[in-house]
Structure 1
């Protein structure tokens, strides 16, 4: 990273819809993944915290968004993914990026990222950036199709289940999920080079109707794993246009928001993700 780089506190990463950001840049099957990181978030973080030729790691890489954006920017990348289905899409997306002129190289390992320091042991002390996001659970909003063009009729959901494998951390209750995520972060810390950066995108969630400060819990978990928070930024999920916000929330996000508001609860649809920037303790100065 160029130490003179100035990173804005709010990143305009939602100017285009997710499907538009991916169109032609990723293989079509990638849309099956229900919890993808926005490509614009990955590209802006990678551009801000690394230089061409440096190594980027994602311990829960899904369909390979971090890897694809890194290779397009001339960085090299390594990822792990627990779900074999998605782990197979990651190299397909990297190969697609290479066919479009991406100059970086990437590799993907299928397995439990709690063992990342062993599986990617040859990369110890080499990563300039670790970029990832914790799982939010086994179900997400997925994709929606209404029964008629006017929006009436039955609503069909698809691609809303992330995992059916009970070994996946997404199946665990929040305390166990955070414990496992802490093990992953500790392993990633062993891969970091001096002054390397860990960047985590995360937002609050609702569990049983109760709002949970997941970013705060991630910060505590990261600190216990030997990392120190240096910046807390906002990566926009909404667009900015003519001085206003363009809502990018899904149908089900808006539906849950409306239901809660009808009950008199002060609930809004998420318009951003927290972007947590951390370094190993002793490197943060």
Structure 2
């Protein structure tokens, strides 16, 4: 309450700061939410992948791959996955009329990716796909030199943690039996090397991919945070910084790809047995963990030289286009608020 015996304070004129120099302001990264978890993974794969595909515990969700391919490429484009696993990126690409090339370190998964490609072709997929077995850090020696400058999209997911989801079978009287919960026991696999070495490897891999990207090509990665020794590791943030600072790629979009289903205003989880078990154990120990409902889809752009960019407009010498406005077909356009070029 004010004191009526005291004079009211003299009103002050609010101070305003000058508008910032547009040249010094970093534009916000577009963000959109993709409804990619409306169907469970097993439904998304049913009939479209060979049954043995369930053995890989760290698969990319088919709807995420399909959405990214539709958003960032055109029919006839080439899609590359340098860590292709069982070939989800490749299968969704050739089913969408793109050609696809994959590299996979583990021989069993490379062979399974080839089987999935053959299966997709037998069902009418119009694109062509190939898989090379080897270390993606040596990708320049694995791929056909004819691919240099032709890839429109690099779409992949880094390995983080040797044990992910897997399968379980409940056996009366003996509890739960786990299987297919590790995708590698090779200590040289990037799943085993720790965060700093993983970031270094991802920089090496994406640097190696760049000569194969066409000007204005896109690099997209699905990635999520993970827990290690009770601490959440911000892998999306660390990876964004490493790639932006060390590869010359420009961050274009950061999308939210839902792993849960959206039903009106409610999220329906698609959590695995392992995820639920970890959450319950943490909460029993007083740690307020929550189920992961999405993956970040980080999208980077390879710098491109605009056609006619030597012509500058206006007295400020502004180029006619910028790296944030290149569509997958190489036409310079303006991105809408969702981050998808239109």
* TM-score, structure 1 normalization: 0.93
Instruction: Name 1:195's counterpart in structure 2.
Output: 216
Q: Distance in 1 between matches of 2:174 and 2:257?
A: 35
Instruction: Name 2:247's counterpart in structure 1.
Output: 225
Q: Indicate conservation of the 8 Å contact 1:94/1:106, yes or no.
A: yes
Instruction: Name 1:66's counterpart in structure 2.
Output: 89
Secondary structure in structure 2 of the residue aligned to 1:140: coil
1:34-183 matches, within 5 Å, as 34-120=57-143, 121-148=145-172, 153-183=174-204
Shift in Å at residue 8 of structure 1? 7.1
Q: Distance in 1 between matches of 2:243 and 2:253?
A: 13
Instruction: Name 1:273's counterpart in structure 2.
Output: 295
4+ aligned runs moved over 3 Å, structure 1: none
Q: Distance in 1 between matches of 2:165 and 2:95?
A: 29
Per-residue Cα deviation, 1:202-242 (whole angstroms, up to 9, x for no partner): 00011111100000111122111221111111000001113
Q: Distance in 1 between matches of 2:228 and 2:81?
A: 26
Q: Distance in 2 between matches of 1:141 and 1:58?
A: 21
Q: Which has the larger radius of gyration?
A: 2
Q: Indicate conservation of the 8 Å contact 1:117/1:124, yes or no.
A: no
Instruction: Name 1:4's counterpart in structure 2.
Output: none
Q: Indicate conservation of the 8 Å contact 2:216/2:303, yes or no.
A: no
Q: Distance in 2 between matches of 1:264 and 1:8?
A: 33
Secondary structure in structure 2 of the residue aligned to 1:253: helix
Structure 1: any 5+ residue segments left out of the alignment? 1-6
Structure 1 stretch displaced more, 128-137 or 241-250: 241-250
The answer to whether structure 1 residue 284 and structure 2 residue 342 are counterparts is no
Secondary structure in structure 2 of the residue aligned to 1:67: helix
Instruction: Name 2:26's counterpart in structure 1.
Output: none
Shift in Å at residue 271 of structure 1? 0.1
Instruction: Name 2:265's counterpart in structure 1.
Output: 243
Instruction: Name 1:20's counterpart in structure 2.
Output: 43
Q: Distance in 1 between matches of 2:261 and 2:236?
A: 22
Structure 1 stretch displaced more, 200-209 or 241-250: 241-250
Q: Distance in 1 between matches of 2:165 and 2:230?
A: 16
Shift in Å at residue 254 of structure 1? 1.2
Q: Distance in 1 between matches of 2:224 and 2:323?
A: 23
Q: Distance in 2 between matches of 1:141 and 1:18?
A: 12
C-alpha RMSD of the superposition: 1.5
Per-residue Cα deviation, 1:22-50 (whole angstroms, up to 9, x for no partner): 11100111111110000000000000100
Q: Distance in 2 between matches of 1:88 and 1:139?
A: 21
Q: Distance in 2 between matches of 1:128 and 1:118?
A: 20
